[in-house]
Structure 1
Amino acid sequence: MHDAPDPAASAAATRSGTSRSTSATIAPNILRYLARVAEEDGVDLRPVLEEVGLDATVMRSATLRVSYRQGSDVIRRALERTGDEHLGLRVGAAQHLTAWGPLGLAMMAAETFQEAIETGLRYQNLTGAMLVWSARWEDDGYVLRADLPDPALDPAVAVFLIEEAYSSVATLTRLNVGASFAPEVVDFAFPAPRDTRPFEELFRCPLRFGAPGNRLVLPARWVRATQPGRDSITYTSTLELLDSQLASRRDQQDLLEVLEVSIAQSLPDVPSFVEQARRHASSERTLRRRLAECGTTYEALVDGVRRERVEQLLPRPESTLRDISRQVGFADVRALRRAVRRWHGVTPVELRARLLERRGGGRRGVSLTSGGVSA
């Protein structure tokens, strides 16, 4: 379950002109299981992880947080290297609640399955998935929704994340409350794959592809059932620990958002790190330490803000590559192209088409060029 935007994050994003926070960090649970599953296929992801700063020592850290961007990049590379169109299903099915640490324990100790789900939703900022989760009772049952927070996300990565999300729900539910569990129905917003048998074998229920949204409908009898591992004392004490962790995360996120706002408001110029330390009445050493505790660096924040601004400007027909390069502080169009390729694995023109398609708009027959817009 993913870092859900909170009001402070939304306010900061609005002030900075960005659509959401670029500094969101997650526990690397997905990446750890992804590396394990890829290894079964003979694919070593260690070089890919090291390229984004996640060597073996770092990945073993219990306190490690990785950026949403790092996670997306590793997943995209893993999909390319394995060639497995059902990689997300396999990664989800390989998991256990113990990977979620104290939150997993709290969910196992909850009185009912519904209470376990609501606990997961409440503390989803502390988990390692990369989606925004919500749940509510609807006409056909208790519906668990998973939404993608990034409109510019690579479509293959988006499919992976939804597959992994619902696969892990089905797998962990069977481990926690009973092997016979099956959803009422699962809706996927992406088109049906060539082979749907892995989905049928995993979910054991009707499936609908190309649906308006991603929905997993849970039967009422399972949602209201008491859990075999329920323990009120363990549940209460674990929630106290989670509340403490959540407060610490919010403090960290506040720092990142303030820095993002400062960077975004200054573009195309970027305040130096020395200037940022002065603005926050902090020494450079202290500010670097605080950013390290957040799992990031000032350079990564600058890169994230630039990326967000590029993704805002690309869909605008009047924006040329030269204009965009100038507005985000790149030296020239070549630097912009290299950055977009690094972020998304595509050219700026390809990314623009993707953004327009995902937003359901854009002028047909209009292409982005270096110096202007041509039909």
Structure 2
Amino acid sequence: MKPIIDPRYSEASAPPQISRFLLQYAVACGHDPALLCRGLGFAPEDLQRPDYRLSFRQSYQLVRRARQLLGDSGLGLTVGSRQTPVSWGLVGLAMLASPDLGTALQLALRYQWHIGSLLDYRMELAGNQVLIHATPRFFDQEVAAFYLEEAFSSSLAIVRFLTGQDLVASRIEVQHPSPPHAQRYAELFRCPLRFAGEHNLMQFPASWLELPLPTRDDYVVAETCLLLDGTIRQDQGLSDLVETIEREVRKNLGAPPSLSQLASQLNLSERTLRRRIGEAGLSYHGIVDELRRTRALQLLGQHDNRLIDVACATGFSDVRNFRRAFKRWTGVTPRTAKQRIAAQP
């Protein structure tokens, strides 16, 4: 398939926390971490430097190698369930010192980049339930499943650690199909599960937000947030802008807002917004196309989806127009892409 064209895929911008956890687990299993990293452009000791960054491409390649070497299809669950707040560094410390779980989760969302997240998260309150949505930034069915498993299992492990309670979510939904290790989901989460769903989300009672944390220290929270706010990555504002645009477009991918509508939402002029998107080496049309392409590939990976359903979900009322756009995005037809995805191990 046509390679991912988003320039951020190859930028060394991602904190290496998850890659570090992965190598630590490989070492615990008796493997040489240097062999896992060979040819990827970094060594295990590089990941110990607090200022070191990986590209998404390097992170994804490491996950593929580790899954193959360790022979664990549920490696994301394994790595995630072993984590504690300490695994999330300064953000984990701020969460430990928070007055309640709601504040701790808001801090995790606010500083998700510092945690080393390779997904985009948002929290939504729906009645007496809270929904945590997770969205992969780039399409790769195998690696996206790993990061979703790692995200949900680590989040639950850390929530249980913070509160000291064996909390059980209301439900979990993921877009990837049921994996060979589905039983491990049931054992770990102990809640209703839905595979091949419309979203990637974890749902839990809103009452969790009010749970007090026994390690509260308001001074530590303030001091830690001050440190985190001072650690501004290069082009932080520009990257945040692009991520904000992507979040707004994902809310209604079938009929995304116009550039002028989006500019109004962001309190910018249309001209300024177009210029700032251009500074990131992107265009608004290109951002929408990339999100539609990613969503189309995700949906095509679910064998029971009809082509008309995929077209409608990505903003096309006519299948012929969708086919033309998809071939422009990927170089192949939707049918060929579906066959290739199905043939992947």
| Rounded Cα–Cα distance in structure 1 between residues aligned with 2:184 and 2:158 | 17
The count of corresponding residues between Structure 1 and Structure 2 is 262
Return the offset for 1:48: 2.7
Aligned twin of 1:218: 204
Aligned twin of 1:348: none
Selected match of 2:233 from 234, 249, 252: 249
Within the alignment, does 1:357 sit opposite 2:300 as a pair?
yes
Selected match of 2:195 from 196, 200, 209: 209
What's the RMSD between the two structures over aligned residues? Answer: 3.4
Selected match of 2:116 from 128, 139, 142: 128
Aligned twin of 2:89: 101
Within the alignment, does 1:69 sit opposite 2:57 as a pair?
yes
Aligned twin of 1:166: 152
> Equivalent residues in 2 for 1:1-375 (5 A)?
21-22=8-9, 23=11, 25-139=13-127, 141-150=129-138, 153-245=139-231, 248-251=232-235, 357=300, 360=310, 363=323
TM-score (norm 1): 0.62
| Rounded Cα–Cα distance in structure 2 between residues aligned with 1:117 and 1:33 | 21
Q: Does the 8 Å CA contact 2:128/2:207 hold for their aligned counterparts?
A: no
Return the offset for 1:228: 1.2
| Rounded Cα–Cα distance in structure 2 between residues aligned with 1:137 and 1:179 | 22
Letter in 2 for 1:74: L
Letter in 1 for 2:184: P
Distance 1:90 1:226, change over 3 A: same
Distance 1:206 1:356, change over 3 A: closer
Return the offset for 1:354: 5.1
Distance 1:113 1:367, change over 3 A: closer
Distance 1:205 1:357, change over 3 A: closer
Return the offset for 1:357: 3.4
Structure whose alpha-carbon radius of gyration is higher = 1
Moved more, 105-114 or 30-39: 30-39
Aligned twin of 1:270: none
Distance 1:357 1:195, change over 3 A: closer
Return the offset for 1:173: 0.9
Q: Does the 8 Å CA contact 1:38/1:82 hold for their aligned counterparts?
A: yes
| Rounded Cα–Cα distance in structure 2 between residues aligned with 1:196 and 1:65 | 33
Letter in 2 for 1:21: R
- Return 5+ residue gaps in structure 1 as ranges: 1-17, 258-303, 317-350
Percent identical among aligned pairs is: 31
Pick 1 or 2: higher relative contact order, CA cutoff 8 A, min separation 6. Answer: 1
Distance 1:112 1:250, change over 3 A: farther
Return the offset for 1:46: 2.1
Helix, strand or coil for the counterpart of 1:65? coil
Instruction: Spell out, residue by residue over 1:104-137, the C-alpha distance to the aligned partner (whole angstroms, 9 max, x if none).
Output: 1111111111111111111112221210011021
Letter in 2 for 1:225: L
| Rounded Cα–Cα distance in structure 2 between residues aligned with 1:110 and 1:249 | 25
Return the offset for 1:254: 5.6
Instruction: Spell out, residue by residue over 1:181-228, the C-alpha distance to the aligned partner (whole angstroms, 9 max, x if none).
Output: 111111111111234221111112111112110111122222211111
Q: Does the 8 Å CA contact 2:12/2:53 hold for their aligned counterparts?
A: no
Return the offset for 1:252: 6.5
Distance 1:140 1:49, change over 3 A: farther
Letter in 2 for 1:249: R
Helix, strand or coil for the counterpart of 2:8? coil
| Rounded Cα–Cα distance in structure 1 between residues aligned with 2:136 and 2:118 | 8
Letter in 2 for 1:112: D
Helix, strand or coil for the counterpart of 1:217? strand
TM-score (norm 2): 0.67
Return the offset for 1:49: 1.6
Q: Does the 8 Å CA contact 1:24/1:253 hold for their aligned counterparts?
A: no
| Rounded Cα–Cα distance in structure 1 between residues aligned with 2:332 and 2:111 | 46
| Rounded Cα–Cα distance in structure 1 between residues aligned with 2:130 and 2:12 | 28
Moved more, 49-58 or 233-242: 49-58
Q: Does the 8 Å CA contact 2:23/2:44 hold for their aligned counterparts?
A: no
Q: Does the 8 Å CA contact 2:101/2:210 hold for their aligned counterparts?
A: yes
Instruction: Spell out, residue by residue over 1:308-339, the C-alpha distance to the aligned partner (whole angstroms, 9 max, x if none).
Output: x9xx89x99xxxxxxxxxxxxxxxxxxxxxxx
